[in-house]
Homo-oligomer: A and B are copies of this chain.
Amino acid sequence: MSQTKERIISAAIHLFNEQGFVNVRLQNIADELKISVGNLAYHFKNKEAIVARAYEKTGEELRTILGSYRASPDLRDLDSQLDAYHQFIKQYPFYFIDILEIKRNHPHLHEDRKEFIVKMRVQFEKRIEYNQSRGILKMELDKQQIAQLADNLCTMVTFWHTSQAIKDEFDDLCSFKCSVWLQLLPFLTIKGKEEYERFIEPGLTVI
């Protein structure tokens, strides 16, 4: 991909992050790069192509994060993944705003998102089950509850940025981890609490 093309996507993502892609005009992108709208048209057929490429790029990042899942995902491994998710959220907040706009007007991109969310949920489920089998998480959680918990975790990852934005609060890592970990902490066994305290940097007291 040509350098200008790259720069266009980069500028577009930057603006999408701030205003949502619906509110970004081709003119805005052109201004940001000090090029003309006509030049934009040379590199991308239309606005949709720009949006699609931006989503493609974020998709690649997400795939990387989801691909880093290991066979033995202990608590520290989960915590690392949360770091990765947080970095992603900070870098591509636009992926989490205008979600329903994407669903309505770019069904293909929405399908991709759905796939990502399913994968994310399945990973959370596997993590929970694996850590149950290790005696790290309580066994009282049944299948249905594990699915529900994994679902809640996905919801938190997906909407945490917007939730912070409403409150005019920053996307800081600690706050993100607290939101996520609080949902898991009460299910830790004694052994689980030990592992958590040993490996995870403090921020939230173990319950």
* A residues apposed to B, CB below 8 Å: 19-20, 22-23, 97, 99-101, 103-104, 110, 113-114, 117, 138, 140-142, 144-145, 148-149, 151-152, 154-156, 158-160, 162-163, 165-167, 178-179, 182-183, 186-187, 204-205, 207
Contacts and interface: CB of A to CB of B under 8 A. Distances in A.
Contacts of A158: 159, 163, 166
Contacts of A22: 22
Contacts of A205: 142, 144-145
A186 to B, nearest CB: 4
B19 A167 contact: no
Contacts of A156: 152, 155
A156 B23 CA distance: 27
Given A103-B166, A104-B19, A155 B145 contact: no
B23 A183 contact: no
Residue from the set A117, A138, A151 with the largest chain B CB neighbour count within 10 Å: A151
29 contacts: A19-B104, A20-B100, A20-B101, A23-B101, A23-B104, A100-B166, A103-B165, A110-B166, A113-B166, A114-B166, A117-B167, A140-B207, A142-B205, A145-B182, A145-B204, A148-B178, A148-B179, A148-B204, A149-B182, A152-B182, A154-B163, A155-B155, A155-B156, A155-B159, A155-B160, A158-B163, A158-B166, A159-B159, A186-B187
Given A186-B186, A205-B142, A179 B152 contact: yes
Given A144-B205, A155-B156, 11 more contacts: A99-B162, A100-B165, A110-B166, A142-B205, A145-B207, A148-B179, A152-B156, A154-B163, A155-B163, A155-B179, A187-B207
Nearest to A102: B166
Residue from the set A154, A182, A205 with the largest chain B CB neighbour count within 10 Å: A182
A114 B167 contact: yes
